[in-house]
Amino acid sequence: MGKRVYIAGLGIISPLGEGLAATEEALRDNHSAIRPLDLFPLLHGEPLPTGQVRDLAEQSDLPRTHRLALNAARQAMASSHTPPDAIILGNTTGGILTTEALLRAKADNKELYRYHGLNSVAEYLAQELGCRGIPLTVSTACSSGAVAIALALEMLRSGKAKAVLAGGVDSLCRLTYFGFHSLQLVDKQGCRPLDADRHGMAVAEGAAMLLLTTEKPARPLAELLGAGLSCDAYHPAAPHPEGRGALRAMQAALADAGLNPTEISYINLHGTGTPENDLAEAKAVRTLFAAPPPLSSIKGATGHSLAASGAIEAVVAAIAVAKDFLPANTGCRNPDPALGLTPLRQPTNQATAAVLSNSFGFGGNNGCLVIAKADRFPLPAPRQGKAGLAIHGYACLTGAGDTAATLALLAQGLPVAGTADLAGISANLPPNLVRRLKRLPRLTLSLALSAHQDSGFEAKPGAVFMGTGWGALSETHDFLTRLTDSGEQFPSPTDFVGSVHNGPAGQTAILFGASGANITASGGDYSFEQALFAADLMLDEGQESALVLGADEGHPVLSPLLDPSIASGTLLADGGGGFCLSRKAAGAQCLVRIPFYQCSAAEGGIKALIDALGGAQTLNGKYALLLAGIPAAVREEGEGQLAEFLGQSELQAPIIRYREFTGEFASASAVAAVMAASFLRSGEVPGPFVSGDDLALAGKKNAILVLGLGRYLSAMEFSRP
């Protein structure tokens, strides 16, 4: 039996106000909340119009993003007595507004930067709400909020969770304010989506959260009926001019919901107000809908709150079906005849059974949601149970160099830590493709190409799942430095486009023409695990292969400030691992699954981990090697957990603390995963690596366990097909 996914709670804070009632009232008023920026002072010129939240109490040393997120989360959880099983949050800015000020003040106390990371927002929510499950952070630029909700839908359908809090958040900051301005995408007269005179977007902020449950609440607000993801695989910032990716995502969402276009009562457009987006989206809508239903973009009222917008608009879609109310396309006076659409000019009361809500972003990342009246439509037939993930190719990069160089040193029991050589990384990359790319995207593309080559697959991968703890640090650093050095006058548009966490995965999609799901996760030291988790949720049975990548760059200035595991004097290290996967075990090198991911503070966490691995007896008969991930910042805690795990499981197998080989960087676990895959391929673990004899991976005891220890407990299992 398939499962219905209900919307049991909603939370929203945006330029329109705080809460559902204020939001609905503002939409009924049809006034724009876009005003000149006054959140931070500018060195030059008139402030540009932005969508700024006015209702956020200023009484905390937490970054604004965290406070916006908690505000929306508390609203969504207001009528629930138990914490959610998981939190899935779309986010692109993390604590960067705070970081920008710290960098300008040349603050070097790294404690002050502890809320910089994107993952820190979801982890903060988890802590405040008592959530013990995975805090999955999705960063796919302006579609992040919608993609987070799409992941939550699959997690609930799969039975991995019964209640998930999902949504998106972003705060205004200099990076996005000046970044979009440098792209000449900001309309100085506000934001006028679909208008013939539109000149761009208004950068905004906000947060929205949905409590999604498979158990039917007493009064469900609406039902999340379907979701569809796609990637343009066309350009890092501009949409495909014909809206091909947008069309595919809308088609996928309708198919997932089991609806025909004629059953959609209203489309909430992405409608940013940029000339290119609105035109591409209009073409896609007209291709899919012979006679489009009523439609509007609310971004003329709210501005574009980036990672929050998909979630904010999902809340608006829920209001639409709950209240039979359609918001107007605020700001549009003269609809552009070239678009061939008729946006709603006035707020309208109208029976609304199902809403399609569109979100598109940088990197060509598209996410569409279908939200409907609860139980109104028949449940689509459940999909077949999914087979496990099978690894067909792998590659890694470390301070030692490429896969062969890395494995050669490991076989001698020698460390591979250090920063990978950029010329070496770039050797297999087309020069014209990478001329604008700095360190992280080059690492990522190199891994992707090598992993695919290793698979021997002729067909290109269709989907990309990427994990990165800190994103493109070079681009972020260079953007902020040039912004400051030029007195805020000449920030680099290239660095802005490159600074988004999903830039490398977007480039990978362009390289392969990978037009399926394209998801970047950022989970600190568990980023690769999060990417693998997302891949396991979203990769369909019949789908062609996918790439699962984990990479981080070591940046001489930012890494020691941001990564708590890098102390002064720590050798700067970076690199990552990449895999070509499918759900076909035939011909695979090994199988991988991620049976456990939970907050380590949860009571009985180690016992739960052992249970998830089948109990002490099973795991003793299965695992020949344990690769333990203990980041330096949580050494004591991690060692304690490891001792407890070994005590309770009585595991008889060599234990390797893999960061002693890889060095300290967030996605070191991706390299550990490549170690495991390579040992399984060769059939043995080299003796010097485990300071003993060669270890044959034969008989029944032939699997490798990779544990993540510290703030969270995670397990990845690699085994023979």
Partner 1 sequence: MNTLTAELKVKIIDILNLQDLSPENFDENDRLVGGALGIDSIDVLEMVVMVEKDYGVVINSQEVGEKIFSSLASLAEYIKENTPGSSS
| Site for partner 1, rule CB under 8 A | 182-184, 199-200, 235-238, 275, 431-432, 435-436, 486, 489-494, 497
CA gap 49, 480 in Å, rounded: 21
Residue 573 DSSP label = -
Phi, psi for 542 (deg, rounded to 5): -80, -5
- In this complex, which beta carbon is closest to partner 1, that of residue 506 or of residue 577? 506
Which regions of 259-350 does DSSP assign to beta strands (E)?
A: 266-268, 295-296, 325-326, 348-349
CB of 236 to partner 1, least distance (A): 7
- In this complex, which beta carbon is closest to partner 1, that of residue 468 or of residue 494? 494
Which regions of 119-259 does DSSP assign to beta strands (E)?
A: 135-138, 163-170, 206-213, 222-231
3-class secondary-structure state, position 272? coil
- In this complex, which beta carbon is closest to partner 1, that of residue 40 or of residue 490? 490
CB of 374 to partner 1, least distance (A): 44
- In this complex, which beta carbon is closest to partner 1, that of residue 183 or of residue 257? 183
- In this complex, which beta carbon is closest to partner 1, that of residue 492 or of residue 669? 492
CA gap 96, 491 in Å, rounded: 16
Counting every residue written for the chain, the total comes to 721
CB of 490 to partner 1, least distance (A): 5
Residue 455 CB neighbour total at 10 angstroms? 24
3-class secondary-structure state, position 98? helix
Give me the residues paired with residue 712 across strands.
599
- In this complex, which beta carbon is closest to partner 1, that of residue 143 or of residue 492? 492
Q: Which residue is it, tokens 């999609």? A: 509
CB of 446 to partner 1, least distance (A): 17
CB of 176 to partner 1, least distance (A): 16
- In this complex, which beta carbon is closest to partner 1, that of residue 199 or of residue 593? 199
CB of 442 to partner 1, least distance (A): 12
CB of 337 to partner 1, least distance (A): 19
Is-contact 357 314, C-beta < 8 A? yes
- In this complex, which beta carbon is closest to partner 1, that of residue 176 or of residue 494? 494
CB of 130 to partner 1, least distance (A): 44
- In this complex, which beta carbon is closest to partner 1, that of residue 436 or of residue 607? 436
Half-sphere exposure of 603 (CA within 13 A, CB side): 1
**250 membership: H or E segment, kind and range:** helix 244-257
CB of 174 to partner 1, least distance (A): 16
Backbone CA torsion sign across 10, 13, 15, 16 = positive
CB of 425 to partner 1, least distance (A): 16
- In this complex, which beta carbon is closest to partner 1, that of residue 200 or of residue 393? 200
CB of 635 to partner 1, least distance (A): 41
Position 506, amino acid: G
Tokens of 183: 């792209």
- In this complex, which beta carbon is closest to partner 1, that of residue 385 or of residue 431? 431
Tokens of 625: 């090697």
Half-sphere exposure of 12 (CA within 13 A, CB side): 26
CA gap 249, 227 in Å, rounded: 8
Could you tell me whether strands 295-296 and 266-268 are parallel, antiparallel, or unpaired per DSSP bridges?
parallel
CB of 235 to partner 1, least distance (A): 7
- In this complex, which beta carbon is closest to partner 1, that of residue 241 or of residue 683? 241
Q: Which residue is it, tokens 């299992």? A: 717
Is-contact 102 142, C-beta < 8 A? no
Tokens of 329: 């396309």
- In this complex, which beta carbon is closest to partner 1, that of residue 382 or of residue 424? 424
CB of 46 to partner 1, least distance (A): 15
- In this complex, which beta carbon is closest to partner 1, that of residue 471 or of residue 498? 498
**Exposure pattern of 106-115 as b/e (b: 16+ CB <10 Å)?**
eeeebebbeb
3-class secondary-structure state, position 435? coil
- In this complex, which beta carbon is closest to partner 1, that of residue 202 or of residue 208? 202
Which regions of 63-184 does DSSP assign to beta strands (E)?
A: 86-91, 135-138, 163-170
CA gap 468, 632 in Å, rounded: 18
Spatial CA neighbour of 518 closest among 367, 661, 628:
367
Tokens of 164: 């998930």
- In this complex, which beta carbon is closest to partner 1, that of residue 485 or of residue 636? 485
3-class secondary-structure state, position 528? helix
Tokens of 195: 């208008």
CA gap 683, 696 in Å, rounded: 6
Q: If DSSP states are collapsed to H, E and C, what string results for 583-609?
A: CCCCCCCEEEEEEEEEECCCCCHHHHH
CB of 566 to partner 1, least distance (A): 29
CB of 171 to partner 1, least distance (A): 25
Is-contact 203 172, C-beta < 8 A? yes
Backbone CA torsion sign across 308, 310, 312, 314 = negative
- In this complex, which beta carbon is closest to partner 1, that of residue 352 or of residue 492? 492
CB of 278 to partner 1, least distance (A): 13
CB of 42 to partner 1, least distance (A): 17
Q: For the packed helices 668-682 and 403-411, what is the interaxial angle rounded to 10 degrees?
A: 70
Is-contact 579 444, C-beta < 8 A? no
**276 membership: H or E segment, kind and range:** helix 275-288
Tokens of 210: 């949905």
